[in-house]
């Protein structure tokens, strides 16, 4: 664990999501590495369907509280993004 989030990958994620949607394919895109409450919404907006936030939870002083906060932020971000997506990526 401990990989930093790489915001320079967001345009690539967005392009991949757009290509998948344009082709009418169903594909789950997962982001892993440095995911925290700062990067959840940008990753969801770029096309991520799933996030791995290991260090943000397990290195937190209160892992349960961190999990609840991240889950709430992710739920809000994904609800907004899946509502706008023409071809839902959820299997």
Q: How many domains does the chain have?
A: 1
Any domain includes 47:
yes
In a domain? residue 90: no
Query: Has residue 89 been placed in a domain?
Result: no
pLDDT for the residue 84: 59
Q: 26, 87 in Cβ contact below 8 A?
A: yes
Query: pTM for the whole thing?
Result: 0.83
Per-residue pLDDT of the chain (91 residues; tens, 9 = 90+): 678 999 999 999 999 999 999 999 988 999 999 999 999 999 999 999 889 999 999 999 999 999 999 999 998 898 887 775 544 444 4
Please choose, from the candidates 48, 46, 42, 57, the residue with its C-alpha nearest in 3D space to the C-alpha of residue 2: 57
Whether 39 is in a domain gets the answer yes
CATH of the domain at 27: 3.20.20.70
In a domain, residue 55? The reply is yes
> Does a structural domain hold residue 78?
yes
Which residue segment(s) compose the domain that 48 sits in? 7-84
Residue 42 lies in a domain: yes
For residue 86, what pLDDT is reported? 45
């Amino acid at each position: 664990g401990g990989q930093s989030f790489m915001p320079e990958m967001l345009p690539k994620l967005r392009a991949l999501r757009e290509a998948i949607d344009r082709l009418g394919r169903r594909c789950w895109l997962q982001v892993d590495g440095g995911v925290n409450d700062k990067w959840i919404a940008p990753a969801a907006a770029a096309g991520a369907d799933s996030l791995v936030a290991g260090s943000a939870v397990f290195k937190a002083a209160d892992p349960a509280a961190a999990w609840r906060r991240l889950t709430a932020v992710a739920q809000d971000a994904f609800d907004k993004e899946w509502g706008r997506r023409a071809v839902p990526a959820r299997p």
